[in-house]
Amino acid sequence: MSRGGKGFLFVVAAPSGAGKSTLVNALLAREPGIALSISHTTRAPRPGEVDGRQYFFVDRASFEREAAAGVFLEHAEVHGNLYGTSRRVVQGELAAGRDVLLEIDWQGAAQIRRSEPACVSVFILPPSAAELERRLRGRGSDSEAVIERRLANSRGEIAHAHEFDFILVNDRFEDALDELAGIVEAVREGRRPQVSRHEDLIRALLAS
Ligand code: 5GP
C-alpha cells in the first residue's frame, strides 16, 4: 500500500472558504488509513474547537521558541496567525508506513515540497468568486474584519494553485469528494490520474 514501507504524504491547500476542512473530514471518514496531522497555531479557538482536536492552540512566544528549536516540519504566518506542522508526528507516522494528510497553506506546501519531495499536493478551488464569498459569510463564526481579510487573501492563495500536483473544484461536494478519494487511491496504486488544471477558472477567480 505504501512506497518502500513508507507512508504517502498528502498536502491539501485551498483558499479559506473553499470547503477544504469539510472535504478532508469526509475523506478521512471514508479512508480511515490516513492520519490527519494536527497543527499548532497561535490563532484563538473558534467556538466549539477543542485543544488537541482541530489544533494545538499555543501562545506566540512558545510557538516561536519551538520553531527556532526545529520542532516544525514547516511553519508559516497565515491571516496574521502562526501555524506549524509537527516534524516528529509526521515523520513518525510516515516511517511507520501510515499515510499522512496535511491541511496547510501554500507557503507550508512549498516548504514540504522541498523537505519531502515525494509528497502529493492537491489544491481545492471554489467554483466561483461569488460562491467563495457566500461560503465564507455562511460560516458565521468569524468577525467581518476577519472575513474581509480572508477574502483579500484568497486571491493570493489561488495564485499558487498551479504549483500543486492536482487541482480540483469543490462545486458539488460529492463529486469533489469522489475526485479527492480517487487521487488518494491512484497514488496508493502507483497510478497518476489525469485531472484538469482548471486554467480558465483560476484566471476568472484571480480577475474577480
Ligand atoms: P484556519 O485558521 O481557518 O483553521 O486556517 C487558516 C489557514 O491556515 C488555512 O489555509 C489552513 O490550511 C492553514 N493552516 C492550518 N494549519 C497549518 C499549518 O500547520 N501550516 C501552514 N502552513 N498552514 C496551516
**pLDDT tens figures, 14-63:** 998 898 999 999 999 999 899 999 999 999 999 999 999 999 999 999 99
Rg (CA), the chain: 17
List, for residues 141-175, the tens digit of each pLDDT value: 678 888 887 788 898 999 999 999 999 999 999 99
Cell of 101: 494528510
Residue 189 is inside which H or E element, if any?
none
Q: Which three cell numbers stand for residue 157?
A: 492563495
Amino acid identity, position 138:
G
For residue 14, which atom of ligand 1 is closest to its CA? 10
Q: Are 122 and 166 in contact (CB under 8 A)?
A: yes
Residue 103 CA, ligand 1 centroid: distance in Å? 7
Backbone angles phi, psi at 143, to 5 degrees: -75, 165
**d(CA 69, ligand 1 centre) in Å:** 21
Distance (Å) from CA 152 to ligand 1 centroid: 16
Q: Which pLDDT score is estimated for 139? A: 66
* pLDDT at position 136: 83
Q: What does pLDDT average to over the chain? A: 92
Query: What is the per-residue pLDDT for 4?
Result: 60
Q: Could you tell me if 150 and 107 are in contact, meaning their C-beta atoms sit under 8 angstroms apart?
A: no
Amino acid in position 85: T
Separation of CA 128 and ligand 1 centre (Å) = 21
Residue nearest atom 12 in ligand 1 by C-alpha distance = 104
> Residues enclosing ligand 1, CB less than 6 A?
16, 39, 43, 74, 76, 78-79, 83-85, 103-105, 107-108
- Cα 102 to ligand 1 centre (Å): 9
Q: Which three cell numbers stand for residue 188?
A: 496508493
Better-predicted residue by pLDDT, 192 or 98: 98
Higher pLDDT, 75 or 154: 75
Residue 38, C-beta contacts closer than 8 angstroms, at least 6 positions apart: 52, 53, 54, 55, 56, 86, 89
Distance CA(84)–CA(135), nearest Å, equals 25
Q: What is the pTM of this model?
A: 0.92
